[in-house]
Chain A
Amino acid sequence: MFVLIVGAGRVGSAVAKAALTAGHEVSVLDEDPLSHERLDVGGEGTWEDRGGLFTVGTALEIDALLEAGIERADTFVAATDGDNTNIVIAQIAQRRFEVERVISRVMDPARAAWYSEQGLETISPTQHAIDMFRQALDLPELK
């Protein structure tokens, strides 16, 4: 499987490394060249030595997405630090490049819920934190 991950922060880089370990082909796109270091850490040799791909660029630039291999991606992960960026690029991946599986991180629980109703697979770390606190403190679910 070819996995394209946009955003090499803590989440994006960890998911990228896990995907590579699992034997997938992994390409990472980030606007910050230094974010590459996060991918190198914790393995033998560099990210590229291990077979990973890395592209510097902004996800709203179609050229950067093409360079990162979006046309042959089976899975697209939007994990930049901006909700709005993630929601927009996920829809570009879905509608324009017809990537089979598109998952995006959306911090804002309200929009994560609404966009997932619209057919966009979302993960909301904020919602997970709320749920876990709630369970730890034995509190009822908010309606």
Chain B
Amino acid sequence: MYVLIVGGGKVGWNLARELIDKGEEVTLIESDRRRYLVIEQELEHAVQYGDATELWVLERAGIQRADLVIAVTGDDEDNMLVCQVAKEKYLVERIIARVNNPRNLQHFKLLGIQPAVSATDLILRLIEHEVPRYGLVHLLALEEERLEIIELEVGSDAPAAGQTVAEVDLPEGALIISVLRNGGGFVPKADTVIEAGDEVLLVLDPGLEERVTPQFTTRG
């Protein structure tokens, strides 16, 4: 099977790695030059540099013979259009798109892009019942992978309130993966500002809760 993956973030790179390990033929397309050079050290010829919303970049990567196109960039419009072009222009049989903002899911459906996978949605589904109003909630413990997903409500004068995601003082092995605000959830970027009252989801190496929690709870 020939698989084309668009977007060399954590999701795309790891997908590429896994699929290559399983013996599939993979090309990963990454549009950030520096990121591309990092990935290229490991994946070598299996990664290409370019903006995959441009047709010639897709053609250079051999989209005409792709069996599966997976669009997992951090930009929903990019993911939608890569998949639309793959399906309708190059007649790729199977596509998978990542939805970053769950509110955009309706647009993916409108354009016939399915399946469209939203991490926030998946996680929200897990927590939609019985989430206490504040405090730390263990949502998921992935024993084998040695990972935990927790949820915290940001206190009014917590250190993290008013900081961007990049500024929040987190230990290595902790990552903010989702912010729930005003009834909606989204995947934050490095420059997203955390607000008091937000609920944040983090993925952690086990045992880090005690170091992470103080950043999000009211001082005192």
Contacts and interface: CB of A to CB of B under 8 A. Distances in A.
Q: Do these two chains interact?
A: yes
A115 to B, nearest CB: 9
B55 A87 contact: no
A11 interface: no
B142 interface: no
30 contacts: A60-B76, A60-B77, A60-B103, A60-B104, A61-B103, A82-B77, A83-B53, A84-B53, A84-B77, A84-B78, A84-B80, A85-B77, A87-B77, A87-B81, A88-B81, A88-B107, A88-B111, A91-B110, A92-B107, A95-B110, A96-B110, A110-B54, A110-B55, A110-B56, A111-B53, A111-B54, A114-B55, A114-B85, A114-B89, A118-B88
Top 4 closest pairs, chain A to chain B, by CB: A84-B77, A110-B55, A88-B77, A84-B81
A108 interface: yes
Interface string B54-77: 111000000000000000000111
A95 B54 CA distance: 23
Interface in B74-114: 75-78, 80-81, 85, 88-89, 103-104, 106-107, 110-111
Nearest to B89: A114
Interface residues of A, number: 18
Interface of A: 60-62, 82-85, 87-88, 91-92, 95-96, 108, 110-111, 114, 118
Nearest to A63: B103
Interface of B: 53-56, 75-78, 80-81, 85, 88-89, 103-104, 106-107, 110-111
A70 B103 CA distance: 18
B6 to A, nearest CB: 12
A111 B103 CA distance: 26
By secondary structure, the A interface counts as helix
A49 B85 CA distance: 43
Contacts of B85: 111, 114
By secondary structure, the B interface counts as helix
A98 to B, nearest CB: 12
Contacts of A118: 88
B88 A92 contact: no
B81 A108 contact: no
Given A82-B77, A108-B53, A110-B55, 15 more contacts: A60-B104, A60-B107, A61-B103, A62-B106, A83-B53, A84-B77, A84-B78, A87-B81, A88-B107, A92-B107, A92-B110, A110-B56, A111-B85, A114-B85, A114-B89
Nearest to B82: A84
A37 to B, nearest CB: 25
B103 A88 contact: no
Contact of B75 (A62, A84, A91, A108): A84
B98 to A, nearest CB: 15
Contacts of A62: 106
Contacts of A110: 54-56
A110 B55 CA distance: 7
Contacts of B80: 84, 88
B107 to A, nearest CB: 6
Nearest to B76: A60
Contacts of A111: 53-55, 85
